[in-house]
Amino acid sequence: MPNENLQIVASDGSSTGQRILRLRGPLTIHTIFDFQGAVRAEGAPLVIVDFSGVPYMDSAGLGALVGAHVSAERAHRKVALTGMNERLKALLTMTQVARLLRPYETVEEAERGMAAQG
């Protein structure tokens, strides 16, 4: 639907160099540009994207996630996903995107897991 809205709230993580982007609303072809802009604007070594407020995502949203991952890798940064509902996790698994971006259950779990990776 063209009138879809995606709200993005950025905040600091629990450690230096961590930023959290909390999404609220669907990640679709109509909302990916806001998402892409928010991810590009973050210069932190680790960006955690909290999907707990995202009910669904389409193929354009999935592509935007892969794009965010690739851009972060090129810049020697990391992107972590958290708070995904079963529908979103199933989409990541079915498309094998979960091999690139393993979803964490909580922001705290993502912070610990990504810190352990170095």
63-75 confidence digits (pLDDT tens): 999 999 999 999 9
Q: What pLDDT score was predicted for residue 118?
A: 58
Q: How many residues does the chain have?
A: 118
pLDDT digits (tens, 9 = 90+) for 69-113: 999 999 999 999 999 999 999 999 999 999 989 899 999 999 888
pLDDT (mean) for 51-73: 95
CB within 8 A of 37, min separation 6: which ones? none
In angstroms, the CA 51 to CA 107 distance is 10
The pTM score is 0.91
Q: What is the CATH number of domain 7-117?
A: 3.30.750.24
pLDDT (mean) for 112-118: 75
